Amino acid sequence: MGYIIKRIFNAFIVLWIVITITFFLMHAIPGGPFTAEKSLPPYVLHSIEERYKLNDPLYKQYGDYLCNLVQGDLGPSFKYPGRSVNDIIKDGFPVSFKLGIEAILIAIIIGIPAGILAGVKKDKWQDRAVNFFTTLGVAVPSFVVAALLIYVLSTKLHLLPAAMWNGWRYEIMPALALSGMPMSFIARLTRSSMLDILSQDYIKTARAKGLSWSKVLIKHALPNSLIPVVTYLGPMTASILTGSFVIETIFAIPGLGQYFVTSIYNRDYTVILGVTIFYSVIVIVLNMVVDLLYPLLDPRIKIGEEKGEDRKS
The pLDDT of residue 107: 93
The pLDDT of residue 306: 42
The secondary structure of 222-265 as a DSSP string is HHHHTHHHHHHHHHHHHHHHT--HHHHHHTT--SHHHHHHHHHH
Using CB atoms within 10 Å of the CB of residue 92, give its burial: 0 to 12 exposed, 13 to 18 middle, 19+ buried: buried
Nearest residue to 100 (alpha-carbon basis) of 166, 15, 177, 169 = 177
Q: Of 11-20, 41-50, 105-114, 193-202, which gets the smallest average pLDDT? A: 41-50
**What percent of the chain shows pLDDT beyond 90?**
29
pLDDT over threshold 90, residue 105: yes
pLDDT over threshold 60, residue 305: no
CA–centroid distance for 127 within its chain: 28
The pLDDT of residue 310: 42
The pLDDT mean for the chain works out to 83
Band of pLDDT at residue 235, cut at 50, 70 and 90: confident
Q: For residue range 29-88, what is the model confidence (pLDDT) as tens digits?
A: 776 676 665 566 676 667 777 777 878 888 998 999 999 999 999 988 888 878 899 999
CA distance 238 to 100: 9
Band of pLDDT at residue 313, cut at 50, 70 and 90: very low
pLDDT over threshold 90, residue 152: yes
**What percent of the chain shows pLDDT beyond 70?**
88
CA distance 75 to 11: 22
The pLDDT of residue 186: 92
Q: Of 113-117, 213-217, 277-281, which gets the smallest average pLDDT? A: 213-217
Q: For residue range 134-147, what is the model confidence (pLDDT) as tens digits?
A: 999 989 988 899 99
Q: Is the dihedral of CA 95, 98, 101, 103 positive or negative?
A: negative
